[in-house]
Amino acid sequence: MKIGIVCYPTFGGSGVVATELGLEMAAIGHEVHFISYSMPVRLDPYASNVFYHEVVVTDYPLFDYSPYELVLTSKLVSVVKNEGLDLLHVHYAIPHASAAYMARQILKSEGIHLPIVTTLHGTDITLLGKDASFEPVITFAINESNAVTAVSSSLKNDTLAHFKVNRHIDVIPNFINLKRYETLVSNGLRERYAPDGEPVLMHVSNFRKVKRVEDVVRVFSGVRSKIKAKLLLIGDGPDRYNVEQMCRQLGICGDIHFLGKTKNVERVLANGDLFILPSETESFGLAALEAMAAGLPVISSNSGGLPEVNEHGYSGYLSDVGDVEDMTKNALDILATPETLDRFKKQALQQAEKFDLPNILPMYLDLYASLLKPLV
């Protein structure tokens, strides 16, 4: 198959899932063409069967706002025609699904058939979708796609609840490639930041409000008041300043380290004991799954798709959004003895196995195949 993938190139989960999926498709022999406005952060452009096409928007003084969606549409038409793509898989509804629809119409006028798969990732539905200025476009683009997938049942239900969607949505959860985690070796972070063998708590996000990183610090502060521990914060974003200020106010800066953004999150996670994800909303929570794959139990909120990923009392614990007290108690329960921690670590890994690549990739392959059946 020749597959086109349209995604955001940033550290966000949708771009990560799109990139990992494309790389895995390429690894099993499909030709994969990534189309984005810059190189996706996790993309290896030199991998076999992988191609990258950049969408370059030129600024004209006439425009106050450059029409990115139109440039993307033209690029899609050009790549589909010149590379002979069989289908287009777009990640994130705005503006990718609507640009793909427009490209499909242009190609149709030239006698070219192009099936479109749209994958909904969360914020396109739970945040942007509730904005009246996007709603009609999202509804239309979802209804017009040839196939639509959502990364959790929770996201599928949210989509059906908020939009006048009259079509089937497949649930295909996020995945991880556990093989990559098996060969992990320590990169020395644990020894550097927890030299006395203290448990290492971790959080990975883009530090947006929705992630409630301040709750991570509150939970850590509660844990720290009972036992020695360290907190490693990975990622960066708008809330970092508030979080730093909070560490200072609580007087625990010495035990908290900000590591910034990383492309190789599994190498960092390999140094941790417990992961905290107290998000306001999370359609899936890929960060939690990556943590479990590295053997870290997860203390999370119970919002959105998180209960589908983190099994309460098994791979970690779920609490109501903002219930810092309960999260602290759960964290201390897991860290109570080396035996309990060890059991939860094993269970977290077992839970992650449900989302291992060999279990999820066939779902996408079957979906693609169903769209490429000859039209009768």
- Whole-number minimum distance, CB 363 to ligand GMT, in Å? 14
Within positions 296 to 335, which residues make up the interface with ligand GMT, using CB under 6 A? Answer: none
- Whole-number minimum distance, CB 17 to ligand GMT, in Å? 5
Tokens of 32: 């994969």
- Whole-number minimum distance, CB 10 to ligand GMT, in Å? 8
End-to-end CA distance of the chain: 20
- Is 158 near ligand GMT (CB under 6 A)? no
**DSSP summary character for residue 105:** H
Q: How far, in Å, CA of 376 to CA of 364, rounded?
A: 23
DSSP code string of 277-290: E--S--SS-HHHHH
**Under 8 Å CB-to-CB from 123, ≥6 apart: which residues?**
210, 283
Within positions 205 to 244, which residues make up the interface with ligand GMT, using CB under 6 A? Answer: 206, 208, 210
Q: How far, in Å, CA of 327 to CA of 278, rounded?
A: 8
Q: How far, in Å, CA of 314 to CA of 32, rounded?
A: 37
- Whole-number minimum distance, CB 15 to ligand GMT, in Å? 6
Question: Using the rule CB under 6 A, which residue among 4, 9, 13, 40 binds ligand GMT?
Answer: 13
Specify the residue, 107 or 361, whose C-beta has the smaller distance to ligand GMT.
361
Question: Binding string, 134-153, against ligand GMT, x = CB under 6 A?
Answer: -----------------x--
Rounded to 5°, angle at Cα 37 from 91 and 131: 50
Specify the residue, 12 or 295, whose C-beta has the smaller distance to ligand GMT.
12
E-only strand ranges, the chain: 2-6, 31-36, 50-54, 87-91, 116-120, 147-150, 170-171, 200-204, 230-234, 256-260, 274-277, 298-301, 316-319
Question: Binding string, 193-212, against ligand GMT, x = CB under 6 A?
Answer: -------------x-x-x--
Within positions 260 to 289, which residues make up the interface with ligand GMT, using CB under 6 A? Answer: 281-286
Specify the residue, 13 or 22, whose C-beta has the smaller distance to ligand GMT.
13
Q: How far, in Å, CA of 166 to CA of 184, rounded?
A: 45
- Whole-number minimum distance, CB 34 to ligand GMT, in Å? 16
Specify the residue, 115 or 285, whose C-beta has the smaller distance to ligand GMT.
285
- Whole-number minimum distance, CB 312 to ligand GMT, in Å? 18
Question: Using the rule CB under 6 A, which residue among 5, 6, 14, 154 binds ligand GMT?
Answer: 14
- Is 367 near ligand GMT (CB under 6 A)? no
29: left (phi over 0), alpha (psi -120 to 50) or beta: left
- Whole-number minimum distance, CB 281 to ligand GMT, in Å? 6
Count of chain residues binding ligand GMT (CB under 6 A): 19
Rounded to 5°, angle at Cα 266 from 170 and 252: 115
- Is 122 near ligand GMT (CB under 6 A)? yes
Specify the residue, 155 or 335, whose C-beta has the smaller distance to ligand GMT.
155
Q: Considering only CA atoms, which of 145, 4, 146, 1 is closest in space to residue 81?
A: 4
Rounded to 5°, angle at Cα 58 from 53 and 63: 135
Which residues here bind ligand GMT, judged by CB under 6 A? 12-14, 17, 121-123, 126, 151, 174, 206, 208, 210, 281-286
